[in-house]
Amino acid sequence: QVLLVESGGGLVQAGGSLRLSCAASGRTLSTTAMAWFRRAPGKGREFVAAISWSGSNTDYADSVKGRFTISRDNAKNTVYLQMNSLKPEDTAVYFCAAGSRFSRFDYDYWGQGTQVTVSS
């Protein structure tokens, strides 16, 4: 079992920044790949970014590339999502995910999400 707990969401004005954190506990060896997804109101879950265990491999959705940065600190069992130049369309519940495969879709564990709201 892996427990993922997101934090750092909140309300921010367009153009602002937030840093999300996701702390993993339990079977952390199952977190070789981690990712962030988001779900906006009325929409399905959307891939945002992924990172390999070492951090040497990252992947970003086109919609966030150049604005968001995913990173991880394995000593703290934590993955981060630095979000800059936020836009109202970034408003969503953001979820972190963990699994053994670096991909845009295949993850075994999911957090409960943290709300990010970007005002105009």
**CA separation for the pair 24, 19 (Å, rounded):** 16
**CA separation for the pair 5, 119 (Å, rounded):** 25
Q: What is the pLDDT of residues 48-72, one digit of tens each?
A: 999 999 999 999 999 999 999 999 9
Mean pLDDT taken over the chain: 96
Rg over alpha carbons for the chain, rounded to the nearest Å, is: 13
The angle at the Cα of 15, spanning 9 to 16, to the nearest 5 degrees, equals: 40
Two tokens, residue 112: 């409960």
Q: What is residue 30's predicted lDDT score, i.e. its pLDDT?
A: 80
**CA separation for the pair 61, 9 (Å, rounded):** 19
Q: Quick check: 63 and 85 in contact, CB under 8 A?
A: no
